[in-house]
Amino acid sequence: AEKTPILEMRNVVSAYGRIQALKGISLKVYDGEIVSIIGANGAGKSTTLMTICNIVKAVQGDILYRGERINNVNSDILPTMGLCQVPEGRRIFPRLTVLENLDMGAFFRTDAGGVKDDVERVFDLFPKLRERRKQLGGTLSGGEQQMLAMARALMSRPKVLLLDEPSMGLAPLLVKQIFDIVKMINEQGVTVVLVEQNANLALQAASRGYVLETGNVVMEDDAKKLLANPDIRKAYLGE
């Protein structure tokens, strides 16, 4: 028998008003994977993550997390179930310190000792944040804010992390750092769904990938095969 995916979308449709952004998306994510979702501007990548999190409502289809239908679970509850999104544009708390931002990521946890240990663990992943722990979030550089957003999400001890464009607006060296950290997070047991404009890096980091076009999945395959596919190379990898 086939393994149960940790996260699955079955024929999911979602819309902004009358405009259908997702036209029947089906995808599966298995425990321990990094799955990348690539596609042009406006293809529906961000909407896919927002629909999983019930920030945008699915008007049709099923969203399953660990075998349970989550279509109607409030987006605020999902992190307490281990499903956590890092939205595009980061959205850290600019007037709170780095440490306070991290505490917010753990707001629902009752194991104070565990939270304290996890602060140290995320500081080990992001040493820059340890240096700046007393600094206000809003005074961090773009790359540091991205790191803080990811670190804050990790404070909820996610099983599945949904990352929306983590490389957006970052210098190439920082982009590489962020991807290295994504791989480290995954190696620590967190399943990752990665939405990226930078298809090349996203597919290099992933085990499998989905290609979206105007709200539909047009291709899904092992990331290596997608990287080697001439059509993909031409359309998404700048060849």
Rounded CA gap, 9 and 24, in Å?
A: 9
Spatial separation of the C-alpha atoms in residues 97 and 35, rounded to whole Å: 32
Interface characters, 189-218, with ligand ATP (x: CB under 6 A): --------x---------------------
Which phi and psi angles does 230 have, rounded to 5°?
A: -60, -35
Q: Which of 5, 44, 158, 209 binds ligand ATP (CB under 6 A)?
A: 44
Cβ(148)–Cβ(89) below 8 Å = no
Decide: is 46 part of the binding site for ligand ATP (CB under 6 A): yes
214 vs 162: CA distance, rounded Å:
21
Indicate whether 18 belongs to the interface with ligand ATP (CB under 6 A): no
C-beta separation of 25 from 216 below 8 A: yes
Task: Considering the complex, state which of residue 25 and residue 205 has its C-beta at the smaller distance from ligand ATP.
Answer: 25
Amino acid residing at 84: C
Sites for ligand ATP among residues 47-66 (CB under 6 A): 47
Options 6, 38, 43, 226; binder of ligand ATP; rule CB under 6 A: 43
Nearer to ligand ATP, 50 or 102 (CB): 50
Residues in contact with ligand ATP by CB under 6 A are 16, 19, 21, 39, 41-47, 197
